[in-house]
Amino acid sequence: MKITVGTFSAIMTVTLGVLVGATAVAAPSPAETLRFAIMRNGEQIGTHAIEISRTGPEISVKVLFITAYRLQHSATERWVNGQLVAFDSTTDNNGVHHKVSATRGTSGLEVQADGKTRRVDQNVLPASLWNQELMRRKIAFDTQDGQVDPISVTDNGTEDLSFGSRALKAHHYEIKGRYSQDIWYDERGRLVQVKLIGSDGSVISYTPI
């Protein structure tokens, strides 16, 4: 994920699909919403929300990013039994447009980016930070332009984090690739904090609210 300096707001919605049985439909569990303030050098420049609903083995992920300098990015992911089966995104990066899709076939994952098709290993994941499984991979495709890049992940272990009166233990990873970021997940594997360096050298972070 690339962050360019500007007023930034993001909404990430994670909706887990419906499991249809032979005679009945499983009832979904209550939705869970995680909210973040997006900070730049200590000042809030936006918000980020994750809404999670759970029903059965199917997961659908919807992502929306908007920035003041005109980055508009929307994406959907569909997962079944822990495997990515479909991905679609559109991005307007200050007038530069990208369209990316991916589908799972018998020979692996087919990624189409701006009209060009590439087949990659079925274990390649989108570089979506909500998914802690990304920290166990060595390659990922960019959700904005579809480029497939090697990544290197350093496991920095468990840390104590504090957000106002709230304290928690979180697992800290450092991921390096085209864009380097520090990422923290709580004991349930939920994203709790992100830190990265913006295009002008400013420190940008997601902190829960």
Token pair 């450092």 is at which residue? Answer: 174
Residue 69: which region, alpha, beta or left (left: phi > 0; alpha: psi -120 to 50)?
A: alpha
Contact 59, 77 (CB under 8 A): yes
Quote the distance between the C-alpha of residue 102 and its chain's center. 15
pLDDT at 1: 53
pLDDT at 206: 86
pTM of the full structure:
0.78
pLDDT at 44: 80
∠ CA 130-135-138 to the nearest 5 degrees? Answer: 125
Nearest in space to 148 (alpha carbons), one of 115, 174, 109, 182:
109
pLDDT at 174: 97
Q: What would the two tokens of residue 206 be?
A: 């997601």
Domain limits, the chain: 8-20+28-208
pLDDT at 26: 52
pLDDT at 53: 66
pLDDT, one tens digit for every residue, the chain (209 residues) = 554 443 333 333 333 333 233 334 455 566 677 778 888 888 887 777 776 666 678 887 777 666 655 667 788 888 888 889 999 999 998 889 999 999 998 888 999 999 899 999 988 999 988 899 999 999 999 999 999 999 999 999 999 999 888 899 999 999 998 889 999 999 999 999 999 988 788 898 988 88
pLDDT at 67: 61
